[in-house]
């Protein structure tokens, strides 16, 4: 009896010790998973401090749509990303996102799913850094700085990923295309007023100078209607009675939801008498364009330039 009890105590002790060791390993992994051996990583300063970024990251997770697209442009294919689109990915990214897993909302990504994916680098959301500590316990996490220009955003990301040469080439190629657009338009670019607007069921808005189309149109020296010459991303809450504020020689209307979204919007707009009175509509210079016009990543910006060639150079 005594021997049986002794054996039971010994077994219990061994099991308890094994459980403590296992828990210790899990806690240790949680606390140190963001650390890499110094010879396999380099220190990067970012908005939340410092991270040791792998020299050649293979399993990158992004928590911001523009960072996701810029990483692809730089030659890094993320394994997963958070995204806020009504469709899984916009048209300009299709064909570039095979196998990419969606991990939830931009402000509240699914941490359990990220942990299961075993990333070696997480690129966080500059506009929602509140989950930085949780993410950095999973893998090295970098939160880029916010309120930068698109060039600074791309340059910073290129430095984080060790892709400085690729970043510089992308920026140079963009400016070359802008010069080609300016030459193709000639002096017309000083005379045309280009309006860019979008709609929600409740209201109509326009894009200001700080938006993606605002930046590109300014780079190409194209003119904007007076109401859109504001240093803001949006000019909001334009009433239906004030539709003339979005008129121009050319009007681009930014639409979510691809072709289906365009069809629904067109049906709604054509029922409005004031829409039919717009000069751009009457002259057949009003165009419905995809939602890439909303994004400031380099792939979206190149897609906007494609549209400008299509509608301003090849159509007008």
Domain count, the chain: 2
Q: What confidence tier does 27 reach under pLDDT thresholds 50, 70, 90?
A: very low
Domain span holding position 100: 38-162
In a domain, 157, yes or no: yes
Check residues 242 and 218 and name the one with the higher pLDDT.
218
| Percent of all residues in the chain with a pLDDT value above 70, rounded to a whole number | 85
Distance, first Cα to last Cα, the chain: 99
Cβ atoms of residues 247 and 282 within 8 Å? no
Which pLDDT band, with edges at 50, 70 and 90, does 203 fall under? Answer: confident
- Pairwise CA distance, residues 179 & 121, whole Å: 36
Residue 51 is encoded by which pair of tokens? 């991270």
**Residue 213 belongs to a domain:** yes
- Does a structural domain hold residue 99? yes
Q: Does 235 fall in a domain?
A: yes
Model pLDDT, residue 26: 40
Share of residues in the chain with pLDDT > 90 (%): 64
Residues facing residue 104 across a β-bridge? 109
- The domain that holds 250 is classified in CATH as 3.40.50.1980
251 part of a folded domain: yes
The answer to whether 235 touches 257, Cβ cutoff 8 Å, is: no
As a whole number, mean pLDDT of residues 112-122 equals 97
pLDDT tens digits, 244-261: 889 999 999 998 777 777
CB 80 within 8 A of CB 114: yes
Give yes or no for residue 80 having a pLDDT over 90.
Answer: yes
pLDDT at position 185, please?
97
Token digits of residue 305: 């330039």
Whether 44 is in a domain gets the answer: yes
Of all helices (H) and strands (E), which one includes residue 34? none
**Does 204 score more than 50 pLDDT?**
yes
Return d(Cα 153, Cα 74) in angstroms, integer: 12
- Name the pTM for this structure: 0.84
Looking at the structure, tell me whether residues 138 and 230 fall in a common domain.
no
Q: Is residue 11 part of a domain?
A: no
**Residue 59, in any domain of the structure:** yes
Distance CA(189)–CA(80), nearest Å, equals: 41
Phi, psi of 55 (to 5 degrees): -65, -35
What digits encode the pLDDT tens for the residues 268-293? 787 778 888 999 999 999 999 998 99
Confidence of residue 70 (pLDDT cuts 50, 70, 90): very high
Mean pLDDT of the chain: 85
For the cut 60, the answer to whether the pLDDT of residue 20 exceeds it is no
Is 198:228 a contact under the CB 8 Å cutoff? no
């Amino acid at each position: 009896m005594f021997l049986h009890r002794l054996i039971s105590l010994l077994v219990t002790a061994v099991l308890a010790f094994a459980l403590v060791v296992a828990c210790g390993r899990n806690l240790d992994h949680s606390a140190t998973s963001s650390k890499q051996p110094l010879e396999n990583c380099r220190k990067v300063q970012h908005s939340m401090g410092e991270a040791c970024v792998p020299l050649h990251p293979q399993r990158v997770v992004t928590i911001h749509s523009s960072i996701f697209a810029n990483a692809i442009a730089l030659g890094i294919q993320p394994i997963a990303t958070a995204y806020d689109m009504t469709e899984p990915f916009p048209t300009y990214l299709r064909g570039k996102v095979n196998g990419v897993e969606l991990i939830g909302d931009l402000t509240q990504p699914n941490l359990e799913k990220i942990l299961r994916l075993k990333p070696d680098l997480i690129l966080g959301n500059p506009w929602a850094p509140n989950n930085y500590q949780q993410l950095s316990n999973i893998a090295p996490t970098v939160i880029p700085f916010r309120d930068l220009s698109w060039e600074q955003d791309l340059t910073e990301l290129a430095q984080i990923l060790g892709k400085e040469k690729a970043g510089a080439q992308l920026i140079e190629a963009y400016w070359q295309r802008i010069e080609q657009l300016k030459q193709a338009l000639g002096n017309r670019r000083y005379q045309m007023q280009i309006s860019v607007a979008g709609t929600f069921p409740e209201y109509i808005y326009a894009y200001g100078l700080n938006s993606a189309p605002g930046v590109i149109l300014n780079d190409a020296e194209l003119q904007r209607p007076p109401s859109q010459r504001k240093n803001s991303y949006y000019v909001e809450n334009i009433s239906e009675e004030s539709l003339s504020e979005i008129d121009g020689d050319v009007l681009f209307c930014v639409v979510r939801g691809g072709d289906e979204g365009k069809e629904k919007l067109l049906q709604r707009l054509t029922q409005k008498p004031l829409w039919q009175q717009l000069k751009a509509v009457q002259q057949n210079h009003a165009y419905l364009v995809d939602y890439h016009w909303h994004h400031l990543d380099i792939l979206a910006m190149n897609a906007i330039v494609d549209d400008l060639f299509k509608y301003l150079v090849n159509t007008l």
